[in-house]
Amino acid sequence: MTDTLIPGADELRARASRLDLRTQAFIGGRFVDAASGRRFATENPATGQAFAEVAEGGPEDVDRAVAAARKAADSGAWSRMSPGDRKRILIRWADLIEANADELGLIETLDSGKPIGDTVPLDMPETATCIRWHAEAADKLYGQVAPSPEGTVATIVREPVGVVGAVIPWNYPAQMAAWKLGPALATGNTIVIKPASTTSLSLLRIAELGAEAGIPDGVLNVVPGPGGTVGEAIGRHPDIDAVAFTGSTEVGRQFLHFSAESNLKRVLLELGGKSPQLVFPDVEDFASIAANVALAIFWNMGENCSAGSRLIVHRAVKDRVLEAVQAELAAWAVGDPLDPATKIGALISRGHMERVLRYVQVGREEGARVVAGGEQILEQTGGYFVPPTILDGVRNEMRVAQEEIFGPVLSVIEFETEAEALAIANDTPYGLAASLYTQDLNVAHRVARDLKAGVVGVNGYSEGDMTTPFGGYKLSGFGGHDKSIHAHDQYTELKTVWINVAAR
C-alpha cells in the first residue's frame, strides 16, 4: 500500500465534477466512437445515478480493433522489439498509472462503488505493480537447447501467440485488466480487451496512459460494450489467437463453445468460487482470526471471486469465533465510497443487490439464521448498500453453501472431525481458494495438501502476491494462470527448431 493522503468526500466530489473522462473506444492508438454511433450510460452504484455515456461497441468495432491488433502483430513493431525496450515502455506505463492513482482511483470509485480507501492506495498501485512485474521479466526469459543427438541442434523457444482477446469483470476493473495485459504484452502479444459494461472508464484512461508511455498504435485496443455482442464477437473472432476470460462460470462455458465453433483459439478461464475458511479447535488468537475471516468475505463487498464465503468452524470454538467476527465488524464502516473511512461501499448494481438479498431470503427459507445484516441500508442515497451479513446454522447442501452469491454474505457451517471439515470444504463444484486456521503443523500440512483449491492460505487469508500464480480447480477455471511467471505460458507458443548440422 502506498502512503497516500486521500482528501475528504467533499473535495473528491468537487474533483469528480472536473474529471475529463475518456468514454470512446480505443482502437489503433486513437479514441473513436462506436461504428454504430451508439452510447450507453454508466452509473455510480453509490447514488444510482448515471454520470457518463460510453461508446457502445459492437462486432464491427471488434473487427476494427482486431484488424489494428493484427497489423501491429504482423509488423513486429512490438513482438520483435528488443525485450529490453518493451520492458522500458511497460515500466514507464506502470509509473504513469502510479503517478495518476488519485485520478484513476476516483474514476474507479465513481464507476464501481468501491471505497476510495481501496482504489487509490491499493487497486491502482497493484495495477501498476502487476504491469511492472511482468515487464521486468520480459528480458529475463530464456529458451532451451534440447539434448538432441550429435549432428543436430534443437532449440525450444517461446513466441507470442499473436492477437489476444480479453474479457474481464467489474469487481477489480483495473487490476483484472492488468492481470491479462501485464503478461500478454510483456511476452510480445497485441490485445483487444473488453471491460465489464458497468466499469469501462478506468481502463480507457489506463490505455491512454499506455500510448503516452510509448506502446505502439494497435498493440492495445479497448472496446467497451455489452458481453452479448462485444464479448461474444471477441470469443468467436477468427483472427484472435487466444482469449483470456475472467467472470462467471456460466459465461466461461460459452467461451469454450465460441472457440470450438470458430478457430479453436486457446481459452483461459478464471471463474467463480465458493471458498472455504476452516477453523480448527486448537486456535487461540480469535481477534486475528476474526480480522482475517472478515477480510476474506467482506473485502470489496464480498464481490471477490476468491471470497471465503463458507466459514467451516469446529463446534467447540464456533461461538467464540462468531463473537470475534461480530466484534471485528464494528470497524467495517459501510457507506459513501468517497469517504476515506468507508470499508464497504456499494454493490455494483440494483440487479446484483437484489440477487444478493434473494440469497439471504433463500438461506432463511432453508433454515439458516441471519445473525448480522441481511437487509439493504442507506436507501435514501439511491445506492446499493448491503452490510456484512452472516448466516448461521448453514448445512453444506443448502444453496447458500453451494452457489456463488458474490456479495457480503458469510455462511457458517459446523464440523466435528478433521475428515468431516475437509469433506465439507471440498464438497463444492468450485475450487479457487481456501484458508485454514490451526496451530498444529500436521493438520496444516495435511489439510492444505488435501484441499482441492488453487490457492490455500494457512493462518491468514491470502491470494499470495505477484510472485505466485492464481487460478482454480474444477468449475473455477482452467487453461492457465494469472500472476507470476506461470502467467506467461498461456500467452506464448512453444516452438521447436530442429537443425541438422552437416559433418565436416
Partners of residue 389 on adjacent β-strands: 409
In angstroms, the CA 339 to CA 325 distance is 24
* Binder among 106, 120, 167, 413 for ligand NAP (CB under 6 A): 167
Query: Is residue 202 at the binding interface for Mg ion, with CB under 5 A as the rule?
Result: no
Number of H helices, E strands in the chain: 16, 21
- The least CB distance from residue 110 to ligand NAP, in Å, is 17
Residue 42 contact, options ligand NAP, Mg ion, none, Cβ 5-8 Å cut-off depending on partner type: Mg ion
How many Cα atoms within 13 Å fall on the side-chain side of residue 24? 14
- Residue 270 among the catalytic residues: yes
Question: Which of 440, 304, 298, 446 is CA-nearest to residue 372?
Answer: 298
Fill in the per-residue mask, 472 to 491: x = in contact with ligand NAP (CB under 6 A), - = not in contact: x----x--------------
Fill in the per-residue mask, 462 to 491: x = in contact with Mg ion (CB under 5 A), - = not in contact: ------------------------------
Treating both helix axes as pointing N-terminal to C-terminal, what angle do 83-99 and 101-112 enclose, rounded to 10 degrees? 70
How many Cα atoms within 13 Å fall on the side-chain side of residue 285? 10
Residue 308 contact, options Mg ion, ligand NAP, none, Cβ 5-8 Å cut-off depending on partner type: none
Question: Which of 30, 27, 19, 22 is CA-nearest to residue 57?
Answer: 27
In angstroms, the CA 117 to CA 123 distance is 9
- The least CB distance from residue 43 to Mg ion, in Å, is 5
CA distances from 408 to 46, 120, 391, 411 (A): 16, 22, 11, 10
Fill in the per-residue mask, 190 to 229: x = in contact with ligand NAP (CB under 6 A), - = not in contact: ----x-xx----------------------------xxx-
Looking only at residues 384 through 423 of this chain, which bind ligand NAP when binding is defined by CB under 6 A?
404, 406
* Binder among 111, 232, 339, 392 for ligand NAP (CB under 6 A): 232
Tally the residues of the chain.
Answer: 504
Query: Is residue 54 at the binding interface for ligand NAP, with CB under 6 A as the rule?
Result: no
Query: Is residue 254 at the binding interface for Mg ion, with CB under 5 A as the rule?
Result: no
Query: Is residue 198 at the binding interface for Mg ion, with CB under 5 A as the rule?
Result: yes
Query: Is residue 56 at the binding interface for Mg ion, with CB under 5 A as the rule?
Result: no
Looking only at residues 26 through 45 of this chain, which bind Mg ion when binding is defined by CB under 5 A?
42
**Interior angle at CA 382, CA 380 and CA 386, nearest 5:** 85
Q: Which is nearer to ligand NAP, 304 or 438 (CB)?
A: 304
Query: Is residue 248 at the binding interface for ligand NAP, with CB under 6 A as the rule?
Result: yes
How many Cα atoms within 13 Å fall on the side-chain side of residue 193? 34
* Binder among 222, 251, 297, 412 for ligand NAP (CB under 6 A): 251
* Binder among 305, 325, 456, 466 for ligand NAP (CB under 6 A): 305
Q: Provide the b/e sequence for 393-404 (b: ≥16 CB within 10 Å).
A: bbebebebbebb
Strand 190-194 relative to strand 30-32: parallel, antiparallel, unpaired?
A: unpaired
Question: Which of 267, 254, 206, 201 is CA-nearest to residue 227?
Answer: 254
- Give the 3-state secondary structure of residue 346: coil
* Binder among 56, 61, 102, 111 for Mg ion (CB under 5 A): 111
Residue 394 contact, options Mg ion, ligand NAP, none, Cβ 5-8 Å cut-off depending on partner type: none
Q: Which is nearer to ligand NAP, 78 or 170 (CB)?
A: 170
Those residues with Cβ within 8 angstroms of residue 283's Cβ, 6 or more apart along the chain or in another chain: 289, 317, 321, 437, 438, 439
Query: Is residue 254 at the binding interface for ligand NAP, with CB under 6 A as the rule?
Result: yes
Q: Locate 29 and state its grid cell.
A: 492508438
In angstroms, the CA 463 to CA 122 distance is 14
Catalytic residue (one of 305, 328, 404, 418): 305
Residue 111 contact, options Mg ion, ligand NAP, none, Cβ 5-8 Å cut-off depending on partner type: Mg ion
Residue 235 contact, options Mg ion, ligand NAP, none, Cβ 5-8 Å cut-off depending on partner type: ligand NAP
Fill in the per-residue mask, 432 to 471: x = in contact with ligand NAP (CB under 6 A), - = not in contact: x---------------------------------------
- Rg of the chain (C-alpha set): 23
Q: Which is nearer to ligand NAP, 42 or 100 (CB)?
A: 42
Q: Which is nearer to ligand NAP, 100 or 275 (CB)?
A: 275
Number of Cβ within a 10 Å radius of residue 155: 14
Catalytic residue (one of 43, 126, 270, 303): 270
CB 187 within 8 A of CB 337: no
The H or E element that residue 401 is part of is: helix 399-402
Q: Which is nearer to ligand NAP, 177 or 209 (CB)?
A: 177
CB 322 within 8 A of CB 333: no
- The least CB distance from residue 167 to ligand NAP, in Å, is 5
In angstroms, the CA 42 to CA 348 distance is 11
Q: Which residues bind Mg ion (CB under 5 A)?
A: 42, 111, 198
Q: Which residues bind ligand NAP (CB under 6 A)?
A: 167-171, 176, 194, 196-197, 226-228, 231-232, 235, 246-248, 251, 254, 270-273, 305, 404, 406, 432, 472, 477
Residues marked active site are found at 270, 305
